[in-house]
Amino acid sequence: MDLVFQGRAFFYRGSTPELLTQGRGFFERALELDPCNVEAMLGVAFVDSAAAAGFMTDDGPARFAAAEAASIKALSLAPNHAMGHARLGFVQMLQTERFKALGN
């Protein structure tokens, strides 16, 4: 959990590509130690969706898909996790908005 808290600290500092990348590193390390860490999965989902929604990456659709997959996996492990449902809804909502913003 310490790595999850460190990862969260980075995205509370701001939403720059550098901070998101550093935060994601902590979540990934937490998942290496415990592949079933729901909080780390949702942290990765947050970072990926924030980078895609903020047009901070060239692979936005892939990042949204990864965020959605991480959220679904987290919910498969913890079906009643409120933040998991919120993260999945956030990702699905942003995918729609980004699609509209690109004129599709």
CATH number of residue 39's parent domain: 1.25.40.10
Number of domains making up the chain? 1
User: Is the C-alpha dihedral spanning 16, 66, 25, 30 positive or negative?
Assistant: positive
Residue 71: pLDDT band (50, 70, 90) is very high
C-alpha–C-alpha distance, residues 87 and 75, integer Å: 10
C-alpha–C-alpha distance, residues 19 and 64, integer Å: 18
Dihedrals phi, psi of 72, to nearest 5 degrees: -65, -40
Answer for the pair 3, 40: CB distance below 8 angstroms, yes or no: yes
- Residues 5-50 have pLDDT tens digits of 999 999 789 888 899 999 999 999 999 999 999 999 999 999 999 8
> Would you state the pLDDT for residue 61?
86
Q: How many residues does the chain have?
A: 104
Q: Range of 19's domain?
A: 2-101
